Amino acid sequence: MICQAIESLEALKTADFSHDSFNFLVKHPNKPVAEVVRIPQEFGQTLRSDMEVFAVDVNHTRVRTFESMVHCAWEHMHVSFSKVFQFLQTPAPELSPEAVPALCRMTATVLDLSLVSYVVSHGSRFDLNHLQKDMPIITVQGLDSNGLHVNCTLRRLACLHNFLDRNLVWTFQGYSPKELQIGQPMTESSGLYILSRIEDFADI
């Protein structure tokens, strides 16, 4: 899944749809604010390089057990994983090599869904159009009950709701299951305010 997301990211640049980055909306914890966050093309290139070095290392050292492969992956990819938490505006929890499968799933899903929301517009109902299912909240579960979860949620923008023809937009949020606020969809009486630089806002 990660490789497919990276290929999609590179395809955007090749098609001149996106140049150095693409953006997605990230909700700040406990604040009615959605920030326009950029994911640079360089991140995909670095992630691909990490995976290639990991594959070569596994091949040359003849790593065979799942445990040894996980530790090898952690050695090469933990810095890239930490970047995902930065994109989500969320402090990284204490992580270990055992978290690699969950981190791979989280990274792939965040890249995939954020790319889709960027390409087809942040307000498009890709859940209905492509998944044929009403899914206003898409959650990526953490490794365990104490791990960080990520959700992609349809929310209302307070200042742009009418401009968007009253459509909701996809926002991302990282949260702990222990937190009270877990990203429920915004009601019609509330909404999120946009935090963005001018150049980022123009690229939404």
- DSSP letter for each residue of 4-64: HHHHHHHHHHHTTS-SSEEEEEEEPTTSSEEEEEEEEHHHHHHHHHHHHHHHHHHHHHT--
**pTM of this prediction?**
0.74
Indicate the domain borders of the chain. 1-202
pLDDT of residue 186: 45
Centre a 10 Å sphere on the Cβ of residue 57 and count the other Cβ atoms it contains. 15
Q: Measure the CA–CA gap between 195 and 192, rounded to whole angstroms.
A: 9
Q: Which residue has the higher pLDDT, 87 or 194?
A: 87
Alpha-carbon separation of residue 75 from 18, 20, 48, 69, 70 (angstroms): 31, 27, 15, 10, 9
Nearest residue to 159 (alpha-carbon basis) of 138, 134, 190: 190
pLDDT band at 17 (very low <50, low <70, confident <90, very high): low
Note the pLDDT of residue 187: 45
Pairing verdict, β 149-155 and 169-175: antiparallel
Which pLDDT belongs to residue 138? Answer: 76
Residue 18 has pLDDT above 50, yes or no: yes
Residue type, 93: P
Helix (H, G, I), strand (E, B) or coil at 187: coil
Read off the pLDDT of residues 118-133 as tens digits, 9 standing for 90 and up: 765 555 666 666 667 7
Q: What are phi and psi of 160, to 5 degrees?
A: -120, 10
Convert the pLDDT of each residue in 26-61 to its tens digit: 998 778 888 889 888 888 889 889 988 888 888 877
